[in-house]
Chains A and B, each alone.
Chain A
Amino acid sequence: MALNRNHVAMFALVAVSCFVVGCSARADENERGADLYRLCAACHGESAAGYEAVGAPAIAGLPQWYLEAQLKQFRDGTRGTHFDDIMGMRMRPMARMLMRDGDVEAVSAHVAAMPVARPAPSLTGGDADNGKAIYTATCVACHGADGVGNQGMLGAAPLNHSSDWYLFRQVENFRAGVRGARAGDQGGALMRPMVLQLADEQAIKDVVAYIMTLAN
C-alpha cells in the first residue's frame, strides 16, 4: 500500500507544479517583453524612471507607437549615429540587440504598459510663464496643449512623461543637428526648424520648465 501512497503524492506534485507554471505564464501576458526589458533595466531602471548618471531617460508609459519608432530609428541609424551624439551612441547598440522579428514590438508593449514614472525636475532657472508663451506659440501645433504628442504629425513625441534634463538635451541636439538631421528623417526635418526659433539657452530652459508643469 505504501507504493500506492507514493504514486498519489507524485501525481499531486506534478499536478501542482503544472498549475504553478501555467499560472505564472498567464500572469504576464507579455513575458517576452518583460524578458527583453531586463537588458534595458540596466540603464533605464527597473521601473523605467530613467537614470540621469548614465543619461538614460524615463520611458515608462510612453505610447507604444513612439517607443517602436525610436527603437527603429536607433536600429537603422537615423538616431544615434552623429559624431557628437554621445548618449545616442550608448543607446543604439541596445536597440540593435533587439534582433528577432517582434522584439521591438514586444519590449515596447511592455514599457508602454508600465506606470508613468516621471522624476522630479532637476534643472533650475527656467521661467515656466515665459515658457508657456513660447510653447503656445511654437510647439503646441505638433506636441499638443497637454504635450501628449501626435502620431499623425510624423510622430511628434509625447513630452509629458520625460525628465527635464533629457528634454533640454534633446532640444539642444535637434538645434545642433546631432539628432533629426539625417537624410530621410522626416520627423526630425519638421522638428529642427521649430527649435531653431528658440532664442537662446534660457528660452530652452523656460519652455522645458513649462513642459514639466503639464500633467503626466
Chain B
Amino acid sequence: MIDRYVETLSTYAKDIDNLILLIGVLVGFWFILCEVIFFYFIIHFRAKDGKRAEYISGEEKSHKRWISAPHLLVLVCDVFIVVGAVKVWYEVKQQLPEPYETVRIVGQQWAWSFVHPGADHELGTADDIKTVDELHVEVGKVYHFKLEARDVIHSFSVPVFRLKQDAIPGRVITGWFEPTGTGTYDIQCAEICGIGHGVMVARIVIESPERHAAWVAEQSPITLAAANRP
C-alpha cells in the first residue's frame, strides 16, 4: 500500500511499511471512533430550552465505563503494536546478517562521503574508493555500513530502503541493508544539522553485478593513478 507512493527497495522495507500500517490503522480506528463519540456527546447533550448543559465530573460508574473500557481495549492493541515493533526492530537493527561487503559512511556539514572497499572487498586497503555525494552498491548483496559523523549529529536516511540511522560524532555505528532492485535513489540527512541541512543530499546507485564491477575497476585509485602517469 505505502509502496505505491514510495518505492520499497530493501529486504526489510516491506516489514517497516507493514508496521507503520498496523500502527496507523489501530491508532486511526480509535482516533475516529473517539471523535465521533465526542461530537455526538457535544451535540446530544447541548443546552436546550429549559435544560442546562450538564457538567459531568466522571465519578459515577456508568460514566467511568466510557474511559475504562476503551482504555483496556487500547492496551490490547498496544500488545499487537509492541510485538510487531520489537520483531521489526530486532530484524532491522539488532541482528546483522553476514555481509558481502562493508562500506564506510561519513556525514559532515553538509555532505555525505563514502569509502567503498574496492575490488578486494576489504576496507582500509590501497584500492579503497572514496567518493562524495555518491554511494555505489550491488543489487542483492548484504552490506554492512560503518556510520560516522565529523562534526555534529546527522542522520543517514535512504527513503526507498526505509533506513534511517543517526550518525553521532565520536561513535562508529554499524548497520546493514540489502538492496532488492537497481536504480539511483535519494540519500538524505534526517537530523537538523545546521544552515545547509536542507541540501545535504546524496545519491545511492544500485547496480547489477557487472555494472558494479565495471565501476569499481574504473574508479579504483590504482587504475586512476596508472592512467594519470605520463
Please provide the chain A residues from 88 to 110 with a CB less than 8 Å away from any CB of chain B in the complex: 89-90, 92-94, 96-97
Nearest opposing residue in chain B for A43, CB measure: B195
User: In the complex the two chains form, is A89's CB within 8 Å of B132's CB?
Assistant: yes
What residues of chain B lie closer than 8 Å to A94, measured between beta carbons? 195-196
Assess the A42–B195 pair: CB atoms within 8 A. yes
A89 with B110, Cβ < 8 A, contacts A42-B195, A96-B199 known: yes
* Nearest CB in chain B: distance from A8 CB, A: 49
Residue from the list A42, A43, A81 in contact with B132, Cβ < 8 A: A81
CB-CB < 8 A to A43: which residues of B?
195
Bound complex: CA of A93 vs CA of B110, how far in Å? 7
Name the interface residues of A4-18: CB closer than 8 Å to any CB of B. Answer: none
Q: A93 and B130: CB pair below 8 A?
A: no
- Within residues 35 to 92 of chain A, which ones have a CB less than 8 A from any CB in chain B? 39, 42-43, 77, 80-83, 85-86, 89-90, 92
Chain B 93-122 near chain A by CB (<8 Å), digits 1 or 0: 000000000000000111101010000000
Task: For the complex, give the distance between the alpha carbons of A82 and B109 in Å.
Answer: 14
Tell me, in angstroms, the Cα distance from A25 to B131 when the chains sit together.
45
Are A93 and B131 in touch, CB under 8 angstroms? no
B186 at the A/B interface (Cβ < 8 Å)?
no
Interface size of B by Cβ–Cβ distance < 8 Å? 15
Contacts A89-B111, A90-B110, A92-B111 hold; do A97 and B199 have CB atoms under 8 A apart? Answer: yes
Name the residue of chain B whose CB is nearest to the CB of A90.
B109
Known: A83-B131, A83-B132. A89 touches B108 (CB 8 A): yes
Residues in B115-145 with C-beta less than 8 Å from chain A = 115, 130-133
The docked-state distance in angstroms from the alpha carbon of A20 to that of B196 is 35
Known: A42-B195, A94-B196, A97-B199. Contact between A83 and B130, CB under 8 A? Answer: yes
Q: Interface size of A by Cβ–Cβ distance < 8 Å?
A: 17
A82 to B115, CA, bound (A): 12
Closest to A42 in B: B195
A96 and B197 alpha carbons, distance in the complex (Å): 12
What is the CA–CA distance of A85 and B133 in the complex, to the nearest angstrom?
13
Q: Does B163 contact A (CB under 8 A)?
A: no
- Which residue of the partner chain, among B109, B133, B195, B199, contacts A81 with CB atoms under 8 Å? B133
Which chain A residue has the least Cβ–Cβ distance from B197?
A93
Determine whether the beta carbon of A86 is less than 8 Å from that of B150: yes
**Contact present for B132 and A93 (CB under 8 Å):** no
- Smallest Cβ distance from B186 to chain A, in angstroms? 15
| Residues B196 and A90 in contact, CB atoms below 8 Å apart | yes
Q: Is B216 an interface residue (CB 8 A)?
A: no
Using CB atoms and an 8 Å cutoff, list the residues of chain B in contact with chain A. 108-111, 113, 115, 130-133, 150, 195-196, 199-200
Q: What are 26 A-B pairs at a CB distance below 8 A?
A: A39-B195, A42-B195, A77-B133, A80-B111, A81-B111, A81-B132, A81-B133, A83-B113, A83-B130, A83-B132, A85-B132, A86-B108, A86-B150, A89-B109, A89-B110, A89-B111, A90-B109, A90-B110, A93-B110, A93-B111, A93-B196, A93-B199, A93-B200, A94-B195, A94-B196, A97-B199
Q: 6 smallest A-B Cβ distances: which pairs?
A: A93-B196, A83-B130, A89-B111, A93-B199, A81-B132, A93-B110
Task: Give me 7 other A-B pairs in contact (C-beta within 8 A), A77-B133, A82-B132, A90-B109 excluded.
Answer: A39-B195, A83-B130, A85-B132, A89-B108, A89-B132, A93-B199, A93-B200
